[in-house]
Each structure stands twice: as C-alpha cells, then as structure tokens.
A and B are shown apart, each in its own frame.
Chain A
Amino acid sequence: MHSPVEQFTIKALYALSLFGYDISFTNSSLFMVFAVLLSSGLLFFAMRPASIIPGRLQCIAEMMYEFVANILDSNVGKEGKPYFPFVFTLFLFILFSNLLGLIPYSYTVTSQIIVTFAMAFTIFIGVTLIGLFKHGLHFFSFFVPPGASKPLIPLLVLIEVISYLIRPVSLSVRLFANMLAGHTMLKVFAGLAVMMSGAGGIMVAGSALPLIAIIGLTGLELLVALLQAYVFTILTCMYLNDALHLH
C-alpha cells in the first residue's frame, strides 16, 4: 500500500544540473509548464478574435481579468495598476496549479512548501522594497500604530515587526497546508476504499462510503483550489497596499 503522501514525491523526468545544483526537469516542473501554458494559452485564444460582443470563452477570460482587476483596485486603488500583470500572473499560476492538481495522476505544484514559500517570500521582499523606495525611512513608521500611547510603543512596534516578518510564512503555509491536507485526505479515503474492498464480506459493500466521501471531498477541494488562489491574490494586494499607503 502506498503512503497518502507519496503523491507529493518529486520524480526527475530529465536530469539536468547547473553549477553543481540538481535542476532536473521533474513532474513538478512539467505541471508548472502546463499551468503557465494552459492559463496564458487559454486566455490568448479566448481573445482571438477579440470582439466587442464576447463569446463564451472570451467572457471567461474577461471575467478572470476583471476579477483580479477588481481585487487590485478595491485593495490598492489606482497606484496598483502597474502591478496588475504580476498579480494576474500570480493568480492564474496558483489557480491553474491548484486545479490541474485535482486531476487524478497529475501533480499539485502548490502542495510544495518551497514553491509557495518562494512566491510568498518574493512578494514579501518586493513589497518591502516598494515601500522603502516610495517612502524612504518614513516606511518604518508603518510599524508604529497610529494613536498608540507612548509607553506601549516599544511593545507594539515589536508585535508589528513580528507580524510583518511572519507574513511570508503565513501566506505560504496557508496555501501549502490546504493543498497538502486536501490531497492527503483524498488519498486516505481512496486507500480506505481499496482496503475495505480487499477485506471481503460486508466490507466490500461498505467500501462505497469512502468513495462517496471522495466525490464530496473533490467538490470541496475544487472550492479550496479557487478560494486559496483568491486568498493568496487578495493578501498580496493588501501587502502591496500597505507598502504603497502605509496605514
């Protein structure tokens, strides 16, 4: 019997190395490529021809665009416009990675902590640099809550700094843990169904129960896949807003 977490194993498909590091093209890399090509390809062909009155596919493309544009606009405002392509790419990458991962025998890129952490950390560094460039040293006033009483300031600044530094961790772990837990749960129920059907007797009939549970869980995971892409995007926008507008 396979372990429920064996699905997360990285398998090299084509061995490569660079400066002594192993950068083999793996099953994970393959699905990153799929996510990027599928998302940009789908949107690209949905807009051919780009007509004033949209067809079905164009409607989907426009809805995705406006969904992300609205998140960015409502959280950041006008100053967020230059960052739209990045936020849109981020949303599509996570969304398509999550959704592709739900296909049986595929690989869930976002179930890897290093992938989610790399994205979250890049956002964290980028947002901090944007804040520093825009506000200079005034940026550090972000860590002093407005209207705080003087003796409390050192404590509050400490709390604010810690909560700021924890952002990349919480952002990455949220996505990673949701994907890991969801896919593990699906495999646990699948394993249960196989075990019960192998046990014989009344257990064979009972093995229908975990199968039904898998159907429900797949629906739930579909929701989680969409929701987590949304949450990651909206938090990125909030962090960007903090950097651009401080409080």
Chain B
Amino acid sequence: MVKRIWFYSGITPLSLITQGALAAGDSSGGLPQLDITTWPSQLFWLVVTFVIGYILISSLVAPSISSVLENRSTKISDDLETAKKAQDNAKEVYTSYEKSLSEARSQAAIAAAKAIEEAKAETASRDAAINKKLATSAKKAEARLSEMRDEALSSLEDLATETSQKIIAELTPVKVTKAVVKKYVAAHAKLQS
C-alpha cells in the first residue's frame, strides 16, 4: 500500500523537473526554500495558524458535523423501527381480520346448514300433514263413492226387479210376486258380476 502510494504520488518523474528547478534556482541565488533565514518565521506562523485551525475545527466544526451525522443516523434507524412496528401492527391486524373472517365463514356455514336442516324438517312435516289430509279426504271420498255405488247398485236391483215384474205382467198372464223377481234379479246380478 505504501509503495503504491509512493508510485502514484509521482515523485519519480517529477524529481527530474525538481532537479531542473534547483539548477535554474542556482543561477539566481538558489531555491528560496533553502534560505534558512525565513524558517523561524514560517515555523512560528505554521504553529500559530495550525493550532488556531485545530482549535476551531475540534471545537466548532467537527462536533457540529458529527452531531448532525449522528442525529441523521438515529433518525433513520428510528424511522425504520417505526416503520417496522407499523408493519408488524398491520400484519397483526391482518391476521386477526383473517381469523375473524374464517370464524364468520364457519359460523355462516353452520347457520346455513342449520337453516337447510330446519327447512327440510319443516318441509317433511308439512308434507306429512298434507299427505295425511289427502289420505283422509281420499278415504272419505272412497267411502262415499262405495256408498254411492252400493246405493246405485241396490237401486239398480230395485229398478230391475220392478221393471222385470212390469215386463212379466205385461207380456205374460203369470202373476209373479215381487219377492220372486227380486230373487231372480239378485241371482242374475250375482252371475253377471
């Protein structure tokens, strides 16, 4: 590293020019740099100005710059922390939201299933009631129908008996009683059916 800086500082090629300058200086009484009578003054003022510069920089300049840099880095890290906290918070809110959402979903599913079940039960009971009603009315109707048929049948038998008696009376001189005709009609009807 040191060697490389030595190289970059360009002292080797420049030393040739320096030698030229030294030679040029010789013709007019040497390099002013080598006039040692000026050295005490230069040293004195170097010390004075450098010390003043050191005091100014170490007491005024460096602390203000370093405090600003420090403030900035703390501000940035604080802001990052706040942002991280906010992010964590948002994540938490999101998870709780997700959780409540899934809870609500499952509750809704349960409620829906229950509602469906209830509706089914109600439908079934209503169906049963209607069926029962229908069955009773059907039975009633059937009973009435058979009654009516029996009635009709019995009246038909009476009609047939009467008609047959009348037909016999008109066509033949034979007098038959109603009871005999009725007996024949009934036997015939039985044969027919």
Q: Which residues of A contact B (CB under 8 A)?
A: 3-6, 8-10, 12, 16, 18, 21-26, 28-29, 32-33, 35-36, 39-40, 43-44, 47, 50-52, 54, 58, 61-62, 65-66, 84-86, 88-89, 92-93, 111-115, 118-119, 170, 173-174, 176-178, 180-182, 184-185, 224, 227-228, 231, 234-235, 238
The CA of A228 and the CA of B10, in the complex, are separated in Å by 10
Residues of A within 8 A of B68 (CB): 47, 50-52, 54, 58, 62
Interface residues of B (CB under 8 A from A): 1-2, 5-6, 8-11, 14-15, 17-18, 20-21, 24-25, 27-28, 31-35, 37-46, 49-50, 52-54, 56-58, 60-62, 64-69, 71-72, 75
Q: How many A-B residue pairs have CB under 8 A?
A: 182
Chain A contact residues, majority secondary structure:
helix
Q: Are A118 and B46 in touch, CB under 8 angstroms?
A: yes
Q: Cα distance A173–B5 when bound, in Å?
A: 14
In the assembled complex, the CB of B10 is this many whole angstroms from the nearest CB of chain A, namely 7
The B interface, classified by DSSP as helix, strand, loop or mixed, is helix
| Contact residue among B6, B14, B65 (Cβ-Cβ distance under 8 Å from A47) | B65
Q: Is A114 a contact of B43 with CB atoms below 8 Å?
A: yes
- Once bound together, how far apart are the Cα atoms of A116 and B53, in whole Å? 16
A115 and B62: CB pair below 8 A? no
Could you say which residues of chain A place their CB within 8 Å of the CB of B37? 22
Taking the closest CB of chain B, its distance from the CB of A38, in whole angstroms, is: 10
Instruction: Known contacts A62-B69, A177-B14; decide if A23 and B64 are in contact (CB<8 Å).
Output: no
Query: Which residues of B are found within 8 Å of A12, using beta-carbon distances?
Result: 41
